[in-house]
């Protein structure tokens, strides 16, 4: 019984975590994104308007996985923001909008503004 319960804990601990980034910018603007953790670097990519990109991962052994992301938009991608995109667990759903970057962590939750764009 102990091994079964231990296995269930490990499965829950290492699966079901991720970051989703959506381009909800107006005026057909592209969104440039790049993310990294202590162990991984996500290849820089450009999201077209109305698209999103999601990556899922397991937590590290001690459960302190963190991801940092940088988003850029506007002419020459000069409007930018770097931020902690993931900490602890769950799906962190980020949305790039004209007035800032919004976060939703629960499906029933409305997105709330976390960051302004830097110029």
- Reference 102, options 17, 16, 20, 27; nearest CA is 20
What are the residue ranges spanned by the domains of the chain? 2-115
54-94 tens-digit pLDDT: 999 888 777 788 999 999 999 999 999 999 999 988 999 99
Does the pTM of the predicted model rise above 0.85? no
Hey, CA dihedral for 83, 102, 85, 43, is it positive or negative? negative
Of 97, 91, 89, which Cα lies nearest the Cα of 115? 97
Using DSSP's 3-state secondary structure scheme, residue 84 falls into strand
- Report the topology of domain 2-115: Immunoglobulin-like (2.60.40)
CA dist., res. 33 & res. 10, Å (int): 31
pLDDT 10s digits, 88-108: 889 999 999 999 999 999 888
Helix (H, G, I), strand (E, B) or coil at 12: helix
């Amino acid at each position: 019984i102990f091994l079964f319960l231990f296995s269930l804990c490990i499965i829950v601990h290492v699966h079901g975590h991720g970051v989703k980034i959506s381009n909800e910018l107006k005026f057909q603007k592209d969104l440039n994104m790049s993310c990294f953790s202590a162990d991984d670097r996500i290849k820089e990519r450009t999201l077209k308007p109305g698209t999103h990109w999601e990556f899922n991962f397991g937590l590290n052994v001690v459960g302190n996985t963190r991801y940092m992301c940088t988003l850029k938009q506007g002419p020459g991608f000069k409007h930018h923001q770097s931020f902690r995109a993931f900490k602890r667990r769950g799906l962190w759903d980020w949305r790039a909008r004209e007035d800032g970057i919004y976060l939703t962590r629960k499906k029933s939750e409305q997105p709330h503004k976390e960051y302004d764009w830097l110029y």
